[in-house]
Amino acid sequence: MAAHEMTYRVPYADTDQMGVVYYANYLTYFERSRTEMLRDAGLPYSELEKRGYFLPVTEAVCRYRAPAAYDQLLTFRSYFKEARGVRVTIVSEVWHKDKLLVEGYVTLACIGHDKKPVRAPDFLLEACRVYR
Amino acid sequence: MAAHEMTYRVPYADTDQMGVVYYANYLTYFERSRTEMLRDAGLPYSELEKRGYFLPVTEAVCRYRAPAAYDQLLTFRSYFKEARGVRVTIVSEVWHKDKLLVEGYVTLACIGHDKKPVRAPDFLLEACRVYR
Amino acid sequence: MAAHEMTYRVPYADTDQMGVVYYANYLTYFERSRTEMLRDAGLPYSELEKRGYFLPVTEAVCRYRAPAAYDQLLTFRSYFKEARGVRVTIVSEVWHKDKLLVEGYVTLACIGHDKKPVRAPDFLLEACRVYR
Amino acid sequence: MAAHEMTYRVPYADTDQMGVVYYANYLTYFERSRTEMLRDAGLPYSELEKRGYFLPVTEAVCRYRAPAAYDQLLTFRSYFKEARGVRVTIVSEVWHKDKLLVEGYVTLACIGHDKKPVRAPDFLLEACRVYR
């Protein structure tokens, strides 16, 4: 019952002229975070693709509480929230020290090689449940 | 009572290895779209900053119905949905021909030079109401 | 004997905390510019891929003379410089009004479906020569 | 006499539809690499800015030998090449295992708070010389 955690250093590339991380970049942070979550749960995303599954995003929600700044060492947290049929929802958070900056979630749809929706396979759900 | 529209050609830079536009880029599309909406309503965002107002995003929601592909000429549509105190919500959509690919909204908080929340000024609301 | 020209409005997404366009984005600008050059010369890049050719970049050079800023309407100029065997070089420039901000070039290698280098086909060279 | 090294995992965000890292992203990799080089040499870039110095890029050169792919764990290497007056040149390389994928350099101009060029200060040169 614990979220996955990783750290990330904010490069100049991620900032905008307001002097903070540009809002779209948090979705990239969420991707890094849930990818590492799956890897550390034993299922690298590339392995998932090799087995013929893809996980396009169907919904993304981001709530911005406070801005992240250049050079900060952020902590990304992710955990599995739920699976419903073809859909899997993963929550992600961005922290700086003990302050929650951004939180949100991404819902992914499981599709097969033929690009058709398919029920999330057990080996994916098992990996997801490692961090919940 | 009409949305603002602009077109945008998808560059290689926006695609990912699934052969479609990477999901975070739609938030950048939303930014382009609402910026041009405000400009065409007579209020360039840079003018807003000159008058001492900033509009950081507090919430962003994206629903992905179908993927956009390289080289497609997309249409971005945006319109003002509502204002509540310091917050302004703008809906954005991404279309290819007559197909809606992605829809969502962004809620912006109005802040002044001192970085404190401030009620959205009338000249901003008037500009917003041009496209609703 | 004229360069291809297109305009581009700088979004917030492209800026960094120095208040100017982040340096890597100019390579994306170059891509937009040479892609439109080829399209207006009658050869959309997607058509090139359909015919079984790809043009990965083998060298990119950028010289930064002055910064571009948020909301500026830039002009991208591109023209064909030379072709040598499998390689094609295209020069690109970024202007604001009558001021040259950034200039550089990109050398592309022509490869076929088998990912092996192949001499640039005549229909590509003909398209390139429209803007030189 | 050794280059600085760090590792970086390629996210989906960095790939394009050719299934490899998009060419402009290597300049972002170079930025991450030289920033960590300076930090590990005792001079975080944010410290440099606090002391009133900025290092805008005046020239960037990238040579692409082989593509990097999604999920690869890359190694970024950087080292100081030379300083001439206001300019400092740093070489960067991107490796996957024992294969050099991309190499290049970036020349930075030292400017002060007044945005005027200024000779690179000794404390910067000393930090640079840690990795050469």
A46 and chain D in contact, CB less than 8 A? yes
B2 and chain D in contact, CB less than 8 A? no
Mean pLDDT computed over B103-132: 94
Pick from A13, A17, A70: CB nearest C12: A17
Residue B81: pLDDT above 90?
yes
D5 and chain C in contact, CB less than 8 A? no
Contact partners of D by the rule of 3+ C-beta pairs under 8 A?
A, B, C
**Binning pLDDT at 50, 70 and 90, where does residue A115 land?**
confident
Q: Give φ, ψ of D122 to 5 degrees.
A: -55, -40
DSSP-based three-state secondary structure for D93: strand
User: What confidence tens digit (pLDDT) does each residue in D86-110 have?
Assistant: 999 999 999 999 999 999 999 999 9
User: What confidence tens digit (pLDDT) does each residue in B20-68 have?
Assistant: 999 999 999 999 999 999 999 999 998 999 999 999 999 999 999 999 9
Q: Which residue of D has its CA nearest to B69?
A: D17
D28 and chain A in contact, CB less than 8 A? yes
Whether residue B118 contacts residue B112, with contact meaning beta carbons closer than 8 Å, is answered with: yes
Q: Do the chains contact at B23 and A64, CB–CB below 8 Å?
A: no
CA–CA dist C27, D49 (Å, integer) = 26
In the sheet that holds A57-64, the strands lie side by side as: A4-9, A73-84, A87-96, A99-109, A57-64, B57-64, B99-109, B87-96, B73-84, B4-9
Q: Give φ, ψ of B78 to 5 degrees.
A: -140, 145
Residue C27 Cα, gap to closest chain B Cα (Å): 9
Q: Which residue of A has its CA nearest to D44?
A: A71
Q: Which residues of C touch B28 (CB under 8 A)?
A: 11, 13
Mean pLDDT computed over D30-51: 95
CA dist B64 → B12, B67, D126 (Å) = 20, 7, 51
One-letter-per-residue 3-state SS of A46-105: HHHHHCCCECCEEEEEEEECCCCCCCCEEEEEEEEEEEECCEEEEEEEEEECCEEEEEEE
CA atoms within 13 A on the CB side of C32: 23
Reported ipTM exceeds the 0.85 cut: yes
DSSP-based three-state secondary structure for B88: strand
Q: What's the mean pLDDT when you consider all of chain B? A: 95
Whether residue D3 contacts residue D78, with contact meaning beta carbons closer than 8 Å, is answered with: yes
Picking from A29, A27, A38, A45, the residue whose alpha carbon sits closest to that of residue A80 is: A38
D47 and chain A in contact, CB less than 8 A? no
Residue B65 Cα, gap to closest chain A Cα (Å): 7
D35 and chain A in contact, CB less than 8 A? yes
What single DSSP character describes residue C15? Answer: B
**Rounded percentage of chain D residues whose pLDDT exceeds 90:** 94
Residue A36 Cα, gap to closest chain D Cα (Å): 10
The pLDDT assigned to C115 comes to 86
The CB density around residue A45, as the number of other CB atoms within 10 Å, is 21
Q: Do the chains contact at C31 and D25, CB–CB below 8 Å?
A: no
Q: Do the chains contact at C70 and A17, CB–CB below 8 Å?
A: yes
Pick from D11, D12, D31: CB nearest A13: D31
Q: Give φ, ψ of A23 to 5 degrees.
A: -60, -30
* Residue that has been written with the tokens 């604001």 in this structure: C96
Residue D1: pLDDT above 70?
no
What single DSSP character describes residue D23? Answer: T
Mean pLDDT computed over C82-104: 97
Q: Which residue of B has its CA nearest to D16?
A: B16
Whether residue D20 contacts residue B13, with contact meaning beta carbons closer than 8 Å, is answered with: no
Residues 61-100 of B with CB under 8 A from D: 70
**Token reading at A90:** 């993963």
Q: Which residues of D touch B24 (CB under 8 A)?
A: 13
CA–CA dist D109, D54 (Å, integer) = 8
Mean pLDDT computed over A52-77: 96
Whether residue D46 contacts residue D35, with contact meaning beta carbons closer than 8 Å, is answered with: no
Whether residue B21 contacts residue D74, with contact meaning beta carbons closer than 8 Å, is answered with: no
Whether residue A6 contacts residue A32, with contact meaning beta carbons closer than 8 Å, is answered with: yes
CA–CA dist B14, B23 (Å, integer) = 9
Q: Which residues of D touch C62 (CB under 8 A)?
A: 59-61
Pairing of strands D73-84, D4-9: antiparallel
A26 and chain C in contact, CB less than 8 A? no
Secondary element (H or E) of residue B16: none
Residue A2 Cα, gap to closest chain C Cα (Å): 34
* Residue that has been written with the tokens 């090799």 in this structure: A50
**Binning pLDDT at 50, 70 and 90, where does residue A1 land?**
low
Q: Which residues share a beta bridge with B108?
A: B57, B88
**Binning pLDDT at 50, 70 and 90, where does residue C120 land?**
very high
Read off the pTM.
Answer: 0.96
The pLDDT assigned to B1 comes to 64
Determine whether C114 is an active site residue.
no
The residue of D15, D16, D27 whose CB has the most chain B CBs within 10 angstroms, and thus the best one to mutate to test that interface, is D16
CA–CA dist C38, B17 (Å, integer) = 23
Whether residue C65 contacts residue C103, with contact meaning beta carbons closer than 8 Å, is answered with: yes
Name the residue range of residue D83's domain: 4-128
Mean pLDDT computed over D37-64: 95
Pick from D11, D32, D35: CB nearest A35: D11
Q: What is the number of domains present in chain C?
A: 1
D46 and chain A in contact, CB less than 8 A? yes
CA dist A5 → A69, A106, C94, D72, D130 (Å) = 19, 17, 41, 20, 32
DSSP-based three-state secondary structure for C3: coil
Whether residue A78 contacts residue A26, with contact meaning beta carbons closer than 8 Å, is answered with: no
Residues in chain B, overall count: 132
Residue B24 Cα, gap to closest chain D Cα (Å): 8
Q: What's the mean pLDDT when you consider all of chain C? A: 95
Q: Which residues of B touch D12 (CB under 8 A)?
A: 16-18, 22
The CB density around residue C119, as the number of other CB atoms within 10 Å, is 14
CA–CA dist A22, D46 (Å, integer) = 18
CATH number at residue D90: 3.10.129.10
The CB density around residue C122, as the number of other CB atoms within 10 Å, is 8
Picking from B120, B24, B46, B117, the residue whose alpha carbon sits closest to that of residue B80 is: B120
Q: Do the chains contact at D46 and A9, CB–CB below 8 Å?
A: no
Picking from C60, C128, C38, the residue whose alpha carbon sits closest to that of residue C88 is: C128
